Amino acid sequence: MMIVPVVCCAITLYFGYSGIFGERGLLAWNATQARLAMAKQELAEIHAKRRALEHRISLLDDSAIDPDLLEEVARGVLLETGPGEVAVPREKR
């Protein structure tokens, strides 16, 4: 007669423990939420960099080249300087 309540109690404890400490329990869910937040932050940073690069590419459009960007690229490639300026070459990254 006491076997049924003991078995039910053991099953309840097993599933309760698994629900909190198990592979897909509450503690694992909190860790997953933290990783998800970090991944979303990284994704937002990547999207911002992509928008900045797309903007720079749009400035290089053949129909209307931005004069400031053209001068920046030319000076970087040719190491040209204006009067009173000194060019210091940098290492490529």
Number of domains in the chain: 1
Domain assignment present for residue 28? The answer is yes
85 belongs to a structural domain: no
The predicted structure's pLDDT at residue 37:
96
Instruction: Write the CB contacts of 72 (distance below 8 Å, at least 6 apart in sequence).
Output: none
Task: Give the tens place of pLDDT for each residue, 38-47.
Answer: 999 999 999 9
Rounded CA-CA distance 1/6 in Å is: 10
DSSP conformational letter for 74:
H
Q: Structural domain of residue 29, as residue ranges?
A: 15-78
Of the two residues 19 and 69, the one the predictor is more confident about is: 19
Q: Amino acid identity of 34?
A: A
pLDDT at 36 over 80: yes
Q: Using one digit for the tens of pLDDT, what is the confidence trace for 9-28?
A: 999 999 898 888 888 888 89
Q: CB under 8 Å to 18, separation ≥6 — which residues?
A: 25
In a domain, 71, yes or no: yes
SS (H, E, C) 4-41: HHHHHHHHHHHHHHHHHHCCCCHHHHHHHHHHHHHHHH
pLDDT average, residue stretch 51-79:
77
